[in-house]
Chains A and B, each alone.
Chain A
Amino acid sequence: MKKIILTTILSVSALFAQVDEPVEVPYIPFEIKMGKGFDAIQANCLMCHSFGYIINQGPQSRKHWHGKVVKMVKHFKAPITDEDVEITTDYLFEHYGNGKLE
């Protein structure tokens, strides 16, 4: 009987600790547009965040997207080359732009 009680207590506490084994955050295949510069997006952006983080920002100006990429370099220390800053900005503006330069 004692044994049964003990197992019950153990299983209850295991249930209570909801994270008793590694959890897995699912991978979501966000549909991102293909095009010139996509390789640079894949190489420079995915390290830190999903495509969802990009496509859910809404359509933005070229200046806005440029500012976002520069923020990744300046504040978040992403190792993006000057050349790739331009390539990724062009890609983002072409596919997720609002048509306005500023």
Chain B
Amino acid sequence: MQRRDFLKASLAASAVAIGSSATAGVTTQPIDTRKVSTIAFPEKKPLITYSDRPPLLETPREAFTQAITPNDEFFVRWHMPEIPTHIDPDTYKININGLVKQELHISLNDLKTKFEQVEVTAVLQCGGNSRSAYKPVAGGIQWGSGAMGCAKWKGVRLRDVLNRAGLQRDAEWIGFNGMDNAAYYETPNFIREMRIDELDDHVILAYEMNGEDLPYLNGYPLRLVIPGKYSDSWVKMLSNITVTKDYQELFFMDVAYRVPDNDCECESPDEKYPRTKPITNMNVKSVIGWPTNNTVVYHNSHLVVRGVAFDDGHGIKDVLISTDDGKSWKPALLDKDANRYAFRAFRFAFKPNKYGKVNIMAKAINRLGNEQPFAHEIKWNHGGYKYNGIDVVTIEVV
């Protein structure tokens, strides 16, 4: 190597070093190459499997051509390893206690017969859905886009149950605990808390999902449903509802499921933002169910691109599709709006007239006018939460 060449090379090397020392997060499309397992979990088809203990299962992209996610394809996420393997629906009771006028122990049958029955179709999405989009790799399971689903939930209003118990005057917080347990007695339970003023009539205790009992892995026999909110508080296998005056300091409230408390909800990987806030409301998002990545189609064939879009309950106004890398956008047809908290299915007729690789992009816009950003426009956060980039699938036209 000539001395000059060496100099050039070392300059280039130092430039790289300088470039990488000020790390900025970059965001790409989430990982979409994982295959479903060969092993099926109880009441489920084989799904993308990250863990068996606690069970962590992801729904494959193909399920998102439909507005309702089938129970046997619905994603699964537990925090604790010990989950009861048998619950007797005849003896199961949900306990309401704490700052109430009368403690209640309500059986499933009483829930189904002594309260007004209500239904809500709502999206359940993990706050870390699509986390694998974030670079550097954000902490947590590297979900693709399938840690979400939409179901029709049936149950009773939480408000009705609390009214039956009667709240004491200084009641401020409601804590929810499920029957899942840690391996060690000292490990904190997965308890979530909600301020009483966050409670509205859409919050229900659901025992039914898409017309069937809740699948065991989705929280049989009863779970909390909080439409519009990320799923971290949708406590499964609910056993206890405790009303308190003071907020209880809990790991799963104070440390997990939080984003930087600034406007962009972002931070630098080198310097985390000091204050955080809970992830709460879902942002506007869409996922293409078909075609999937690497689908091979014939030139000039008639394709129907299908997918789903949703937000936190304001409702989806438009889904726009681009097949020219975002230069132009055309509106997709939207299904009749069943419920503002539900998946809004969309479809778009597309006749590919050029050969080779083609990117199909979907961008949802809600009734507030909020629209999905491009993946690269999304700024990094340490937990890899709330990704909602424009979805892109790449097909091959032959």
A residues adjacent to B (C-beta < 8 A): 16-19, 21-28, 30, 47-50, 52-53, 56-61, 64, 68, 75-79, 98
Contact = CB atoms under 8 A, between A and B. Distances in A.
A57 B139 CA distance: 7
Contacts of A56: 50-51, 56, 141-142
Nearest to A27: B52
A97 to B, nearest CB: 11
B220 to A, nearest CB: 5
Contact of A57 (B81, B140, B220): B140
B136 A98 contact: yes
Interface in B42-84: 42-43, 49-56, 81, 83
B4 interface: no
A49 B53 contact: yes
B216 A23 contact: yes
A76 B188 contact: yes
A38 B246 CA distance: 44
Contacts of A23: 42-43, 85-86, 216
B251 interface: yes
A48 B39 CA distance: 21
B137 interface: yes
B215 interface: yes
Given A25-B217, A59-B137, 12 more contacts: A23-B85, A25-B53, A25-B83, A25-B85, A26-B40, A50-B51, A50-B54, A53-B50, A76-B182, A76-B188, A77-B188, A78-B184
Given A18-B43, A19-B213, A28-B39, A49 B81 contact: yes
State the majority secondary structure of interface residues on A: loop
A4 to B, nearest CB: 24
B52 A26 contact: yes
A74 to B, nearest CB: 9
B244 interface: no
Interface string B215-230: 1110011000000000
A77 B52 contact: no
A24 B85 contact: yes
Contacts of A27: 52
A80 B142 CA distance: 25
Given A26-B41, A49-B81, A53-B56, A21 B86 contact: yes
B218 to A, nearest CB: 11
B22 interface: no
A41 to B, nearest CB: 15
Nearest to B55: A25
Given A25-B41, A57-B141, A76 B49 contact: no
A57 B53 CA distance: 15
Nearest to B82: A48
Closest 9 CB pairs of A and B: A77-B186, A52-B51, A58-B137, A22-B85, A23-B42, A28-B52, A22-B86, A56-B50, A50-B51
Contact of B183 (A16, A47, A75): A47
B255 interface: yes
B212 interface: yes
Contacts of B40: 26
Given A19-B213, A23-B86, A98-B137, A49 B54 contact: yes
A19 to B, nearest CB: 5
A77 B184 contact: yes
A52 B81 CA distance: 13
Contacts of B54: 49-50, 53
B87 interface: yes
B214 to A, nearest CB: 9
A57 B221 CA distance: 30
B37 to A, nearest CB: 7
Nearest to A79: B184
Contact of B87 (A19, A61, A98): A19
Contacts of B233: none
A48 B182 contact: yes
7 contacts: A17-B89, A24-B85, A28-B39, A48-B81, A50-B52, A56-B56, A75-B188
Contact of A52 (B43, B52, B87, B220): B52
Nearest to B86: A22
A27 B49 CA distance: 11
A28 B37 contact: yes
Nearest to B38: A28
Nearest to B89: A17
